Structure 1
């Protein structure tokens, strides 16, 4: 550092104050830490006492996690007609919920045909109705917007992809455990019935 003084921050984020660089380096050496310049453009520059190796490692882990979450999150698209019947609406809403529970974003698109383009408020009403009905699993990231013959709304999942996968895995494990317990119970009941039948046959022979 080519400055005479720095504003020093301690390892826990505590403000030490403005000190000479020589004193800051001495404190770093005594604490077995590094003196790292974190805000070089400040007057005076801000430096922090830290374990630089640990800091770089944690930063790399966070960056890798952010990339992984970003890569895992997909945008699914679901298309609706303005005059969709109730059965199709419920079916498509079920797909939207499944995508959201899986940790993916969903782009809902209304496709206008012919004179339907003159009634954009009907499309907006349908999109907002759907958003309200799935609010247990989603947050609206982009309000309805129209582009040409289409109007879209984007829903984001309340849970991250990794969390959703972990939850789904636990649900599968719980279902399997319940099925195994039920199978064991049936086999035990079957064995008990056979034993009773065998005992009854033996009694008849006597």
Structure 2
């Protein structure tokens, strides 16, 4: 029957009694499955864990620079791992690093939440912050802001 129509006979469930077969265009079916898989891959979001390293004896300006980098990563929808490195005698005062990590978490609390609380492992203490907005929302927001900026630039050039 399949040959008469010019289609393929595809075995669907070989374990069934009797086996189940379907008459279809197998090439077209494979193409449609590949299209669905490609579409699903395009809609996936890849969450990246960015890392920021600092020491307990960080100066205010350097701290602000690191904080702004953390904010940029979080606004982009990525997770951020903050690593506090202890060198020499700094290891005897881990509470200084803990306070600094808590301060950073407090500074970015409107755009992030603490996913993993500060935890000391040997000579370093780590904390992971997650964004409050999903990556897809953040990317859409960035595209909208970029489009508005381009539109404003075009209007300014037209005048």
Normalised by the shorter chain, which TM-score bucket?
A: 0.7 to 0.9
Shift of 1:112: 0.4
Q: Please give the TM-score of this superposition, normalised by the length of structure 2.
A: 0.72
Q: Residues of 2 paired with 1:108 and 1:115: CA distance?
A: 21
Backbone CA RMSD of aligned residues: 1.7
Q: Distance in 1 between matches of 2:133 and 2:47?
A: 11
Match of 2:87 among 108, 113, 120: 113
1:46-85 alignment, distance < 5 Å: 64=40, 68-69=44-45, 72-85=46-59
Question: Structure 1 CA distance, aligned partners of 2:60 and 2:54?
Answer: 12
Give 5+ residue unaligned stretches, structure 1: 1-59, 186-206
Please point out which of 98, 101, 104 is paired with 2:75: 101
Q: Deviations over 1:15-39 (max 9, x none)?
A: xxxxxxxxxxxxxxxxxxxxxxxxx
Greater relative contact order (Cα < 8 A, sep 6+): 2
In the alignment, does 2:64 pair up with 1:90?
yes
Q: Distance in 2 between matches of 1:75 and 1:119?
A: 27
Equivalent of residue 134 in structure 2, options 137, 160, 174: 160
What are the superposed Cα offsets for residues 137-182 of structure 1, whole Å, 9 maximum, x if unpaired? 1010000000000001100011111111110000000111111111
Over alpha carbons, which structure has the higher Rg? 1
Structure 1 stretches of at least 4 aligned residues deviating more than 6 Å after TM superposition? none
